[in-house]
Structure 1
Amino acid sequence: MYADRIYIANDCIFLEDWTISDLIGKHRSRPYNLLIANTFFRVGFIEAWGRGIEKIKDSCKEAGNPMPEDTIKHEDVMVMFKSLVSSTDQGTNQAGDRANDNSIVTRILKVPQEEPALSQKKIADVIVEKHSAVKYCMESMKKSGIIKREGSSQKGKWIIL
């Protein structure tokens, strides 16, 4: 994990001639670890084999997030997700760029304008997102100078810079 990106990697065995296009396109699924794959399938995390990357990209697009970048080698696949908030963005430009979208960052920024004393957990409840996602985004926004917390976690308030 980095301030502006996160990498997720997994060991696997690809055919010699596979490319990123093969992985991203329609293909037959051959799970590397059948026990883990079947466990995820049984608990409902997998609805159909071979759709994981497609679902990830659809979710990113729906949420207004940047598309992940894939790297494959013969023995592994790595996916880089760019942060919703770039550490080089200025707060005013960031807010202006996101004024017309419904991304998690935009929804987070609207809450402290009306109720600056809410906790991250309460903000997550208001925008109907997971607390961990809101916490991650708000930490990124604090590091980027978009928001700051003034006062304690119990009696403080959020300031949009």
Structure 2
Amino acid sequence: MFPVSWTAETLMQKHRSLPHNPDIANTFFRAGFIESWGRGVEKICRLCREYGIAEPEYTAHPNDIMVMFELNEPVKMVLEAISENPNLSKEKIAEKIRMSRATVTRALATLVENGTIYRVGSDKSGYWKVVKLYNKETKKNMLKN
């Protein structure tokens, strides 16, 4: 359980870490899975800023924290394009959304890396398979911490 006074706003401020199970938290710390207490939210926000990604939206509940990440614009546009026509090549996607081939390549790599899409067949005759679609309304892209 989170302390009663915790909110999404207080998570963004300096605060004392209160692990639910200190023994497990200490084991993760000693194993190198975490580097310090109470810095996870701060670190996520800092990395988002460094990579030019919008900071996630946090919702604090009594037993958990929900974190929602927004897709950046090129990724969103590429996903929309291949959702409409999965047979599009990188060149055709770039032409359709009026972005460079390099930008489209980076966006596709992001989508493949996070398991949203994968390529079926060859680059010339294959197609994109959309595994999962995320949207803000259904909050399917929320990750639970």
* TM-score past 0.5 threshold: yes
Post-superposition shift, 1:157? Answer: 1.7
Partner SS state of residue 35, structure 1: helix
Query: TM-score, normalization: structure 1?
Result: 0.51
Q: Which runs of 5+ in 1 are unaligned?
A: 1-12, 100-104, 111-119, 124-132, 143-148
| Residue in 1 that maps onto 2:31 | 43
Aligned residues: 110
| Residue in 2 that maps onto 1:19 | 7
| Residue in 1 that maps onto 2:76 | 86
Q: Which runs of 5+ in 2 are unaligned?
A: 82-92, 127-145
Pairwise mapping of residues 49-64 of structure 1 onto structure 2 (< 5 A)?
A: 49-64=37-52
Query: TM-score, normalization: structure 2?
Result: 0.56
Decide whether aligned partners of structure 1 residues 64 and 95 sit closer, same or farther in structure 2, where only a CA change above 3 A counts: farther
Partner SS state of residue 76, structure 2: coil
| Residue in 2 that maps onto 1:135 | 112
| Alignment-mate amino acid for residue 40 of structure 2 | G
Moved over 4 A (4+): 87-95
Distance 1:31 1:52 in 2: 12
Amino-acid identity (%):
39
| Alignment-mate amino acid for residue 60 of structure 1 | C
CA RMSD of aligned residues (A): 3.7
